[in-house]
């Protein structure tokens, strides 16, 4: 046991000292900070006002009401250009020139047909902005409705009072209880869980592969296996890299939390106006149970994949060869990723249940399901038992492949040879 | 079983896909001896040593170390192993690496550090303690590898082709250390295909070829038995001038000709004196006349055959 500890410590100390570790550990929080800052900066930049003209060819001054409605806090300002129907096109031409000269963002042409059958035209350079177009549509829709109701004899005040926006608040129910979590936050959480698990299992699994290949190519392996059993070496390697992974993940988690809590400070630092926008985002509420599930499946999944990556490395002669041979292993990890949308849309559907029970996809699929919806306890237990059993089997097979493979140089073994390695004891 | 046998192989056989690397090999390394495992490349030396270290398991037969049941890994504290394939962690610092390797053998951290520093000083690597292995010259890396083998003061040193790949200066340093350790009671088992080295260092040898044992025993006895009647002759005019004498069946049983001299095995009944008289009768100018034991190389060639003794192109390295 002491020898395994020696391997773990070396793996940890040497990995933590590498440039790779230092850079990626620092880069993580920087990336997270940019996730917080960039959208807000973008929003601020987007907050510059768009200037448009409303070309009013109506007979009842409908365009004027549009201009009145398009004003702060909306990010669009409008001015009225009243014309007769015949002159619309020539005015439009000169406005087009103004848009070309960047003195104007666009113009709206309203006619009597607008109120009559809803036809209206906007020409501008911001037509690809979904927000801008939604604002115009909703203003137009409201005003057309008001105008038509007015014609039918309904009082304007009544119409205005009747028009209030509806906001749908979603609250997720788990295990028959109403939670603090909103629907969106469950979705965000599931997504975050997926990304974290996929990235970390892949990242650290590949690290184990690199470590094993390095020992093989540098030939230091033979000295090691003369004083340690291959299984001790394998266990130390996987636990050591796993410890590095947990260490790095917790640095990232803590810095993410701190960054998010003190994001007002962060925004001040980059000189963003800290208006009401800062309060807008909240971290999705994460329960202790969710945390435990994610952590448990990360560990089980990491061990499973690290063992498979180690077997791949033991069969290969070089880093490049190992990267080729790892494809089947990576594919297994990619399966739940490809089917992620399906899992999220129907967390209780047949596919989601199957993926969360199959040991190779469970490490990602089950926590994602858990984050998105309620998972019955028997399913979790079943999945853990299956995963644990497969893990033992894979480690047993890997230890055997490892023992023979680490001393083999030359041709990569065929599946039949591999089978012989596994059987020989 | 005898406590004074440190390494004991009994009827050990190892097969690899397609061929038998070691066949029914038995040998005993007595305590305190310097034991040479000799044989041409591909004879099964490395396979045998790996089985002793329990890196690979024999298909048949039994191996015991220190007359104990434990395997090589469990006894790593008492064994120093230098594999044929040398290798170190390239990115580790010299001291960290030596301490780590000692720890994997079961030495505690503190004494590992102390001993590593001691050896580093002794072999003149003092300025390089905190450098990474990568920054060291090849020769210095070899020293580090050797320190890793002897650092924990093992009772048994197992060296696989210790003199191949080392430069002459390091070879000499290493020989001196090995001789010193052996004098202090360390048992040494080493493999080589270079007979001159074995002859200088060993007191016992085992010669194997094609996986099987050809001969083993104390070097002095082997020499007495197999090469008691050998004469080395050199004359002016080279070996060609000796032609008539070397062909004389009443005197010479067998002759190995080299450009400047010949190694001659006498027939039973003939004495070196008669041979010398024959040379003088031919009016040849004698430059060297040495009666005595055959070199280990000669014994080896006689036993194994010239083909097997000539190092072959490296084939199936991992099976060797």
What number is the average pLDDT over the span B114-136? 91
- Tokens 């790996």 belong to B50
Distance from CA of B308 to the nearest CA of A (A): 25
Beta carbon pairs, A and B, within 8 Å: 73
Q: Are residues B239 and B218 in the same domain?
A: no
Distance from CA of A392 to the nearest CA of B (A): 23
The CATH code of the domain that includes B124 is 3.40.50.300
Interface of B with A in 52-71 (CB under 8 A): 53, 55-57
Q: How confident is the model at residue A175 (pLDDT cuts 50, 70, 90)?
A: low
Best probe of the B interface among A223, A237, A317, by most B CBs < 10 A, is: A223
Best probe of the B interface among A222, A405, A412, A419, by most B CBs < 10 A, is: A222
Q: Are residues B128 and B142 in the same domain?
A: yes
Q: Are residues B149 and B15 in the same domain?
A: yes
Asked whether the predicted pLDDT for residue A3 surpasses 70, the reply is: yes
Query: Is the CB of A220 less than 8 angstroms away from the CB of B88?
Result: yes
**Which range among A136-150, A178-192, A246-260, B68-82 shows the weakest confidence by mean pLDDT?**
A178-192
Beta strand extents in A246-401 (DSSP E only): none
Q: Are residues B39 and B157 in the same domain?
A: yes
User: Which positions in chain A touch B76 (Cβ < 8 Å)?
Assistant: 226-228
* Lookup: tokens for B229: 């009647």
Q: Chain A residue with minimal CA distance to B109?
A: A6
Q: Are residues B92 and B188 in the same domain?
A: yes
Asked whether the predicted pLDDT for residue B34 surpasses 90, the reply is: yes
Residue after which a domain boundary falls, among B164, B193, B223:
B223
Q: Which of B57, B90, B318 sits opposite A408 (nearest CB)?
A: B318
Can you list the pairs that B70-75 forms with residues at least 24 positions away whose Cβ atoms lie under 8 Å? B72/A226, B73/A225, B73/A226, B73/A227, B73/A228, B73/A229
User: Which positions in chain B touch A214 (Cβ < 8 Å)?
Assistant: 89
State pLDDT tens for residues A75-124. 788 888 888 888 888 888 888 888 888 888 889 888 888 888 888 888 88
Q: Which of B57, B76, B103 sits opposite A226 (nearest CB)?
A: B76
Q: How confident is the model at residue A323 (pLDDT cuts 50, 70, 90)?
A: confident
* Lookup: tokens for A4: 């395994």
Question: How far apart (Å, rounded) are the C-alpha atoms in residues A357 and A386?
Answer: 7
Q: Are residues B64 and B86 in the same domain?
A: yes
pLDDT at residue A278 in the model: 45
pLDDT at residue A256 in the model: 83
State pLDDT tens for residues A200-246. 899 899 999 998 998 888 888 889 988 888 888 899 999 999 999 99
CB distance A360 to A332 below 8 Å: yes
pLDDT at residue A130 in the model: 76
Q: Which domains does chain A have, with CATH numbers?
A: 7-42+179-423 (no CATH), 49-162 (3.40.190)
pLDDT at residue A172 in the model: 67
Q: Are residues B18 and B43 in the same domain?
A: yes
Residue after which a domain boundary falls, among B163, B190, B223:
B223
Asked whether the predicted pLDDT for residue B312 surpasses 70, the reply is: no
Q: Report yes or no on B260 lying in a domain.
A: yes
The number of residues in chain B equals 320
Q: Report yes or no on B82 lying in a domain.
A: yes
The CATH code of the domain that includes B283 is 3.30.70.100
Question: How far apart (Å, rounded) are the C-alpha atoms in residues A226 and A122?
Answer: 79
Q: Are residues B243 and B198 in the same domain?
A: no
Provide the angle, in degrees to the nearest 10, between the axes of the packed helices A327-338 and A288-315. 150
* Lookup: tokens for A91: 């005015």
Residue A398 sits at the vertex; the CA angle it makes with A397 and A403, to the nearest 5 degrees, is 105
The residues, ordered by sequence, that sit 6+ positions from A5 with a Cβ below 8 Å of its Cβ are: A236
Q: Which domain holds residue B78?
A: 5-223
Distance from CA of A3 to the nearest CA of B (A): 6
Q: Count CB neighbours of A166 within 10 A.
A: 4
pLDDT at residue B309 in the model: 52
Q: Report yes or no on B317 lying in a domain.
A: no
The residues, ordered by sequence, that sit 6+ positions from B258 with a Cβ below 8 Å of its Cβ are: B239
Q: Which of B55, B57, B96 sits opposite A222 (nearest CB)?
A: B55
Dihedral pair phi/psi, residue A175, rounded to 5°: 55, 35
pLDDT at residue A182 in the model: 61
Q: Report yes or no on B310 lying in a domain.
A: no
B231 vs B132: which has the higher pLDDT: B132
Q: Report yes or no on B302 lying in a domain.
A: no
Q: Report yes or no on B318 lying in a domain.
A: no
Query: Is the CB of B106 less than 8 angstroms away from the CB of A3?
Result: yes
pLDDT at residue A47 in the model: 59
Distance from CA of B46 to the nearest CA of A (A): 12
Question: How far apart (Å, rounded) are the C-alpha atoms in residues A346 and B44?
Answer: 62
pLDDT at residue A282 in the model: 55
Q: Are residues B274 and B185 in the same domain?
A: no
Dihedral pair phi/psi, residue A174, rounded to 5°: -125, 135
Please report the ipTM that was assigned to this predicted complex.
0.77
Q: Are residues B97 and B163 in the same domain?
A: yes
What number is the average pLDDT over the span A364-392? 89
Q: Report yes or no on B306 lying in a domain.
A: no
pLDDT at residue B313 in the model: 36
Q: Which of B76, B101, B318 sits opposite A409 (nearest CB)?
A: B318
Query: Is the CB of A227 less than 8 angstroms away from the CB of B76?
Result: yes
Q: Are residues B234 and B98 in the same domain?
A: no
Query: Is the CB of B81 less than 8 angstroms away from the CB of A226?
Result: yes
Distance from CA of B86 to the nearest CA of A (A): 6
Q: Are residues B240 and B93 in the same domain?
A: no
Best probe of the A interface among B52, B55, B316, by most A CBs < 10 A, is: B55
Q: How confident is the model at residue B311 (pLDDT cuts 50, 70, 90)?
A: very low
Number of domains in chain B: 2
Report the mean per-residue pLDDT for chain B.
85
Residue after which a domain boundary falls, among B187, B208, B223:
B223
Q: Which of B17, B55, B90 sits opposite A407 (nearest CB)?
A: B55
Is the Cα dihedral A263, A268, A269, A271 positive or negative?
positive
Q: Report yes or no on B308 lying in a domain.
A: no
Query: Is the CB of B79 less than 8 angstroms away from the CB of A226?
Result: yes
Query: Is the CB of A229 less than 8 angstroms away from the CB of B73?
Result: yes
pLDDT at residue A43 in the model: 67
Distance from CA of B76 to the nearest CA of A (A): 5
């Amino acid at each position: 046991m002491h020898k395994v500890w020696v391997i773990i410590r070396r793996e940890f100390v040497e990995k933590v000292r590498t440039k790779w570790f230092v850079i990626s550990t620092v880069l993580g929080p920087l990336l997270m900070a940019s996730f917080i800052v960039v959208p807000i900066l973008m929003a601020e930049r987007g907050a510059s006002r768009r200037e448009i003209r409303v070309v009013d060819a109506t007979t009842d001054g409908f365009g004027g009401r549009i201009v009145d409605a398009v004003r702060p806090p909306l990010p669009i300002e409008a001015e009225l250009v009243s014309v007769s129907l015949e002159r619309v096109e020539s005015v439009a031409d000169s406005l087009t020139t103004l848009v070309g000269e960047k003195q104007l963002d666009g113009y709206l042409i309203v006619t009597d047909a607008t109120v009559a059958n809803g036809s209206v035209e906007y020409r501008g350079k911001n037509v690809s902005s979904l927000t801008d177009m939604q604002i115009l549509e909703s203003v137009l829709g409201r005003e057309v409705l008001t105008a038509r109701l007015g014609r039918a004899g309904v009082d304007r005040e009544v119409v205005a009072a009747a028009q209030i926006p509806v906001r749908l608040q979603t609250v997720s129910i788990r295990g028959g209880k109403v939670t603090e979590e909103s629907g969106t936050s469950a979705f965000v959480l599931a997504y975050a869980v997926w990304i974290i698990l996929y990235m970390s299992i892949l990242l650290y699994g590949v690290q184990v592969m690199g470590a094993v290949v390095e020992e093989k190519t540098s030939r230091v392996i033979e000295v090691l296996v003369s004083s340690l059993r291959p299984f001790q070496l394998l266990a130390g390697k996987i636990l050591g890299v796993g410890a590095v992974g947990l260490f790095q993940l917790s640095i990232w988690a803590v810095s993410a939390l701190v960054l998010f809590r003190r994001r007002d400070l962060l925004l001040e630092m980059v000189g963003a106006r800290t208006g009401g926008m800062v309060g807008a985002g909240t971290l999705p509420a994460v329960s202790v149970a969710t945390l435990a599930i994610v952590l448990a499946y990360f560990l089980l999944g990491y061990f499973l994949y690290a063992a498979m990556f180690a077997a791949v490395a033991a069969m290969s002669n070089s880093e490049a060869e190992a990267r080729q041979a790892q494809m089947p292993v990576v594919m297994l990890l990619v399966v739940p990723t490809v089917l992620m949308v399906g899992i999220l849309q129907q967390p209780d559907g047949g596919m989601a249940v199957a993926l969360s029970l199959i040991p190779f996809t469970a490490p990602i699929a089950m926590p994602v399901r858990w984050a998105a919806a309620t998972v019955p306890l028997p399913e979790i237990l079943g999945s853990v038992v299956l995963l644990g059993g497969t893990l033992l089997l894979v480690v047993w097979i890997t230890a055997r492949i490892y023992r023979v493979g680490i001393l083999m140089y030359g041709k990569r073994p065929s599946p039949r040879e591999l089978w012989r390695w596994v059987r020989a004891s | 079983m005898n406590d004074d046998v440190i390494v004991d192989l009994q009827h050990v056989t190892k097969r690899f896909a397609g061929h038998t690397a070691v066949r029914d090999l038995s040998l005993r390394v007595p305590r305190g001896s310097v034991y040479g495992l000799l044989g041409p490349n591909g004879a099964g030396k490395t396979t045998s040593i790996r089985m002793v270290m329990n890196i690979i398991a024999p298909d048949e037969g039994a191996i015991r170390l220190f007359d104990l049941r434990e395997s090589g890994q469990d006894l790593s504290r008492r064994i120093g192993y230098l594999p044929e394939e040398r290798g170190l962690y390239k990115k580790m610092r010299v001291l960290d690496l030596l301490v780590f390797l000692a720890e994997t053998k079961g030495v505690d951290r503190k004494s590992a550090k102390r001993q590593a520093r001691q050896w580093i000083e002794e072999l003149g690597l003092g300025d390089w303690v905190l450098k990474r292995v990568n920054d060291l010259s090849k020769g210095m890396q070899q020293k580090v590898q050797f320190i890793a083998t002897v650092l924990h003061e093992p009772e048994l040193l197992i060296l696989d082709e210790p003199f191949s790949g080392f430069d002459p200066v390091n070879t000499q340093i290493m020989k001196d250390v090995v001789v010193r350790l052996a004098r202090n009671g360390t048992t040494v088992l080493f493999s080589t295909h270079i007979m001159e080295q074995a002859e200088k260092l060993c007191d016992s040898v085992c010669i194997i070829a094609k996986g099987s044992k050809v001969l083993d025993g104390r070097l002095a006895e082997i020499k007495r038995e197999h090469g008691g009647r050998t004469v080395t002759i050199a004359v002016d005019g080279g070996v060609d001038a000796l032609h008539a004498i070397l062909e004389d069946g009443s005197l010479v049983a067998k002759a190995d000709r080299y450009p400047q001299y010949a190694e001659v095995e006498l027939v039973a009944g003939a004495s070196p004196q008669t041979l010398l008289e024959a040379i003088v009768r031919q009016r040849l100018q004698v430059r060297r006349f040495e009666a005595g034991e055959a070199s280990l190389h000669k014994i080896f060639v006689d036993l194994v055959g010239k083909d097997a003794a000539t190092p072959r192109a490296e084939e199936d390295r991992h099976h060797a």
